Amino acid sequence: MQIGMVTFQTTVDSKSGDLEGVRGMVSALERARSLTPEVVFDINVVLDELISNIIKYGYSDDAAHEICVKLSATDTAVEIGIEDDGKAFDPFASPEPDLSLSLAERPVGGLGLHFVRKLMDDIKYKRENNRNYMFLKKNLTPQAQG
Q: Is 111 inside any structural domain?
A: yes
Q: Is 84 inside any structural domain?
A: yes
pTM for the whole structure: 0.85
Domain containing residue 68: CATH number: 3.30.565.10
Instruction: Please report the pLDDT score of residue 39 as a whole number.
Output: 96
Helix 37-57 with 20-33: angle, nearest 10 deg: 150
Residue 51: how many other CB atoms lie within 10 Å: 20
Q: Is 59 inside any structural domain?
A: yes
Give the chain's domain count. Answer: 1
Q: Is 44 inside any structural domain?
A: yes
Helix 111-119 with 37-57: angle, nearest 10 deg: 140
pLDDT tens sequence across 84-94: 999 998 887 77
Residue 80: how many other CB atoms lie within 10 Å: 22
pLDDT tens sequence across 95-145: 665 555 555 554 455 557 888 999 999 999 999 999 999 999 999 976 544
Q: Is 1 inside any structural domain?
A: no
pLDDT tens sequence across 35-90: 999 999 999 999 999 999 999 999 999 899 999 999 999 989 999 999 999 999 88
Q: Is 19 inside any structural domain?
A: yes
Instruction: Please report the pLDDT score of residue 16 as a whole number.
Output: 86
Domain of residue 108 covers: 6-144
